[in-house]
Amino acid sequence: MKIVLLSGGSGRRLFPLSSDARPKQFLKILKDGRGGRQSMLQRVRGQIRAALPDAEVLIAANASQAGIIESQLRGEVDVVLEPERRDTFPAIALACAYLRDAMSASPGETVVAMPVDPYADIGFFQALSGVEEALACAKLVLMGIQPAAPESKHGYIIPGGRLRGGALKVESFVEKPDEATARGLIGSGALWNAGVFGFRLEYGLDLSGGASYEKLLEEYGSLEKISFDYKVAEREPDIAVIPYNGMWSDLGTWNALAAQMGGYVTGNGLLERATDTYIINELGAPIIALGTRSLVIAASPDGILVADLAQSPHLKEAVGTLELQRPMRKERGCGEYTVLDRIECANGAESLVRRLRLSAGRSMSFRAHERRDAVWTVASGVADFTLDGETRRISAGGAIKIVRGQNHSIAAVTDVHIIEVQTGELLDETDAEKFEKGF
């Protein structure tokens, strides 16, 4: 069995910890059972290893996520990189072609494509072993979760008669019904759609006419932006669903996540006369919650959230009304940068202060800025700086100036922290994008 973990995800539902540049599946906020913290990606990888030791895992991710996946899973899974973010149908099509062309999977192989971040008991992953058998009587196999409540954020599967094993025939789908409708559906046996799709590899390959991995990769930017649900599942008459009755959540909202964090305070925080209040603080300065009730308080360089737990599912709408701004922090496998400060200058320009962290042995190249200078000061560690081909070794307390037009790169000799002060003309959007790609 090949398991394709789809690593997409918008960053807005867990603001300010997640962002488009730092999707929730990579946040290390879940207890790992050994006193440390792990990400959703790491947890799911571990559960698959335990429940399905023979399954091979392929992660379908955006190209920008390569570094952090490498850093969190240390090369123990295959990764297929999408050159840009589209939707689940193109991602699954590309992954199928990759399975055949790069991983030599046979056409009869069972493929299970699923989100990278379900928060579930191990039983959920054990239930995936039933996909194989269910494929004997359906072309597509889904996982259906026994609903815990008539929540309107889910898609519902309406099952029909019993098939082989525990699987049921799928009659139809209802997308995000209102609560009253959901209640009625549940009464007649409907299940939440977990976003899991099981099929034979040949079925997945046929969906894109058997195109090669190379070809799909090349044409990726012109593939239709459409979900696998919509493009395939809703049009396929021959579908089975495996019901699963156990703990399952997508941890997509703060109230769901807070309950799984294993503690009320993460980071520098203090609860005083507070009840049912969660603090998650990624800033250095302290958070005090005084006399509060049923709140989640989360702080990162991107912002601060104070939300009533029950109302936290509405966060996405609230964040949507915020002015878009460049993310304050980006993580890559080899390091991260954090915006420390922005200074408005008299002429309307803006200076930017960033901290770059780079792990020993890793390097980064930057494109030349056309209209901005920068001074880099090494705050800790040692690194080799190359400017227009010339290399200098600089250690803590040393600094180097990069003038506009110079290509530059850093190779970290030890773990290194660098403070960068960028000055010059105002960053326009194109600059900002370049600047982020440069990282």
285 binds a second copy (CB under 8 A): yes
Q: Which of the ranges 66-74, 84-92, 222-230, 390-398 carries the binding residues for a second copy, by CB under 8 A?
A: 390-398
Q: Least separation, in Å, of the C-beta of 216 and a second copy?
A: 39
Q: Report if residue 303 touches a second copy, rule: CB under 8 A.
A: yes
Residues β-bridged to residue 390: 387
Please identify, among the stretches 206-214, 217-225, 369-377, 384-392, the one whose residues bind a second copy according to the rule CB under 8 A.
369-377
Interior angle at CA 308, CA 38 and CA 144, nearest 5: 55
Is residue 306 at the binding interface for a second copy, with CB under 8 A as the rule?
yes
Chain centroid, CA 359 distance in Å: 22
Q: What is the DSSP letter of 231?
A: I
Find out whether 278 and 258 touch, Cβ atoms under 8 Å. yes
- The residues, ordered by sequence, that sit 6+ positions from 290 with a Cβ below 8 Å of its Cβ are 272, 273, 274
Give the range of 87-95, 117-125, 196-204, 319-327 binding a second copy by CB under 8 A. Answer: 319-327
**Per CB under 8 A, does 396 bind a second copy?**
yes
Out of 221, 286, 361, 405, the residue judged to bind a second copy by CB under 8 A? 286
Candidates 90-98, 123-131, 182-190, 379-387; binding stretch for a second copy (CB under 8 A): 379-387
CA dihedral over 124, 127, 128, 131, signed as positive or negative? negative
**Separation CA 236–CA 234 (nearest Å):** 6
Q: Which is nearer to a second copy, 174 or 349 (CB)?
A: 349
As a dihedral over the C-alpha atoms of residue 387, residue 391, residue 392, residue 396, rounded to 10 degrees, the angle is 70
Least distance in angstroms from the C-beta of 346 to a second copy: 7
Between 208 and 312, name the residue whose CB sits nearer to a second copy.
312
Told to check if 379 binds a second copy by CB under 8 A, we report: yes
Q: Which of residues 337-356 bind a second copy (CB under 8 A)?
A: 340-346, 349, 351, 353, 355
- Residue 10 interacts with a second copy (CB under 8 A): yes or no: no
Q: How far apart are CA 154 and CA 175, in angstroms?
A: 7
Q: Does 315 sit near a second copy (CB under 8 A)?
A: yes
What residues from 57 to 116 belong to the interface with a second copy (CB under 8 A)?
A: none
- Count of residues in contact with a second copy, rule CB under 8 A: 69
The candidate with the shortest Cα–Cα distance to 409, out of 429, 389, 426, is 389
Task: Give the Cβ contact number of residue 272 at 10 Å.
Answer: 10
Among 283, 368, 387, 413, binds a second copy (CB under 8 A): 283
Q: Is 35 left (phi over 0), alpha (psi -120 to 50) or beta?
A: left
Task: Decide if residue 162 touches a second copy (CB under 8 A).
Answer: no
Which residue in 85, 84, 111 sits closest to 98, CA to CA? 111
**Residue 370 CB partners (closer than 8 Å, separation 6+):** 404, 405, 431
- As a 3-state breakdown, the chain gives helix, strand, coil percent values, each rounded to 5, of 25, 40, 35
Segment interacting with a second copy, rule: CB under 8 A, options 24-32, 150-158, 240-248, 312-320: 312-320
Nearest-approach distance from CB 152 to a second copy, in angstroms: 17
Measured between alpha carbons, how far is 158 from 189 in angstroms, rounded to an integer? 7
Per the DSSP assignment, residues forming a β-bridge with 208 are: none
**Which amino acid, one-letter code, is at 57?**
V
Find the shortest distance in angstroms from Cβ 27 to a second copy: 17
Query: Closest separation between CB of residue 35 and a second copy, Å?
Result: 20
Residues 217-276 that bind a second copy (CB under 8 A): 270, 272-273
Interface ranges with a second copy (CB under 8 A): 15-16, 270, 272-273, 281, 283-293, 295, 297, 299, 301-308, 310-312, 314-315, 317-319, 321-322, 328, 340-346, 349, 351, 353, 355, 373, 375, 377-381, 396-399, 401, 414-415, 417, 419, 421, 423-424
